[in-house]
Structure 1
């Protein structure tokens, strides 16, 4: 079966055809694509991957993935453009393997081939990683990836899946009626991890009734990490804010055996 490698060149909108080969670039026989639905509150292990289903319906899906592949519609890439690649896409069967290309993938040194003992120079090569930055399965319309920071370089807009609260949103949150923020702790003191948590809990709070919000505050107070008086959490530093945000996300729990109070570092909905 013929496999293809296409490339996206910086500052150019279209894809270019690079290589057509009968040789497999990736080992699909041992490839297991069983992802966990992406949630910024879910941390995955090294052997796990995230997934986004119905990917073609998202606003950041490339037209390249939505259209039927016809190689004659693509121009052959020039040598000059090969040095301007932003990412490549290898197509094997119905799987699209994406790899970001940066300067570390270009090798331009003197070398000699083991098969042909001749010294070569001025013949730069592009290396291909054994693991792709993102994989799209056209059959089940699902994108798989391990790091959102990498995937968003290919699929622009995916960073909105894990956005930070803006300065205005952060200031508004600090002015919430259930918070008593110390004068020494301002919007400029809020770290990036807490800004990301604020973006998440804003959506959570918007979907809660007043009674549910009060229940969340009582639940957070049960774990006694932050002073809670007159219906307000006293925020004096970034850790205080972090514990309150964890509470709103309902990350605290008590073990059935031993009664230990713990905080969940990662959440998977079941």
Structure 2
């Protein structure tokens, strides 16, 4: 069965046909797509991937994924454009394997093949990773990926799945009634991880009633890492803010055996 490699050239909108091969590029027999619905609060193991279901309806999907593949409709890429590739897509049956292409994937050195002992000089090659940056399964309309930062380079707009608060949004958050922020610490000093947490926490707080918010603040205070007086957490630095944000996300728990207080590094809803 034929397998196809298509390519996206920088500053050009359409996909180009790169090559057709009977050789299997990715070993699908050993491929296990263990997908977990994407959530920025969830960390995955090495053997796992994030997933976005109903991907064709997400607004991030590329047009050519929604149609039946017809390679005749794709122009053959020109040799001069091969060094301008931003990503390639290998199509095997109903699986689409995407790989970002950057300078590290171009090899332009003198080399010789172990099959043919002749020295090659002006034949640069593009290497293919054993695991793609993103895999789209057309049968179940699901995109699988390990790093959002990589996937969003292919599917523009996906970075909105894990947005960070702007400086204005961060400043507004720091002005909340339940925070008392030191004059030596302000929005400009809030790190990117905390800005991302603020974006998530804002959504959480908007869903809570006043009584639920009070319960969350009491719960956070029970783990006693940040001074809490007169209904306000005293924020002196980025670590203080991180602790309060963890509390609002309800990441703290106490082990049933031993009573050890812990913070959950990753969360999966069950």
Which TM class, normalised by the smaller chain length? over 0.9
Residue 30 (structure 2) aligns with:
30
The correspondence of residues 69-88 of structure 1 with structure 2, limited to 5 A, is: 69-88=69-88
SS of aligned partner of 1:83: helix
Q: Which runs of 4+ in 1 moved over 4 A?
A: none
> Residue 121 of structure 1: CA displacement?
1.2
How many pairs does the alignment contain? 270
- Tell me if the contact between 2:33 and 2:48 (Cα under 8 Å) persists in the aligned partners: no
Partner of 2:16: 16
Match of 2:54 in 1: 54
Q: Does 1:113 align with 2:149?
A: no
Q: Write out per-residue CA displacement over residues 107-154 of structure 1, whole angstroms, 9 at most, x where no aligned residue.
A: 111111222222111111111111100000000000001111111110
In structure 2, what is the equivalent of residue 157 of structure 1?
157
TM-score by length of 2: 0.99
Shift of 1:230: 0.8
Alpha carbon RMSD of aligned pairs, Å? 0.7
For the residues of structure 2 that align with 1:22 and 1:233, how far apart are their CA atoms?
Answer: 63
CA distance in 1, matches of 2:226, 2:119: 68
The whole-number CA distance in structure 2 between the counterparts of 1:247 and 1:139 is: 40
CA distance in 2 between counterparts of 1:226 and 1:114 reads 64
Any residues of structure 2 matched to 1:223-242 within 5 Å, and which? Answer: 223-242=223-242
In structure 1, list runs of 5 or more residues that go unmatched: none
1:161-240 correspondence runs (5 A): 161-240=161-240
- CA distance in structure 1 between the aligned counterparts of 2:73 and 2:61, rounded to whole angstroms: 20
Structure 1 residues 46-68: Cα deviation after superposition (integer angstroms, max 9, x where no partner): 11111110111111111111111
Using structure 1 for the length normalisation, give the TM-score. 0.99
Structure 2 unmatched ranges of 5 or more: none
| C-alpha deviation, 1:221, in angstroms | 0.7
Aligned equivalent of 1:262? 262
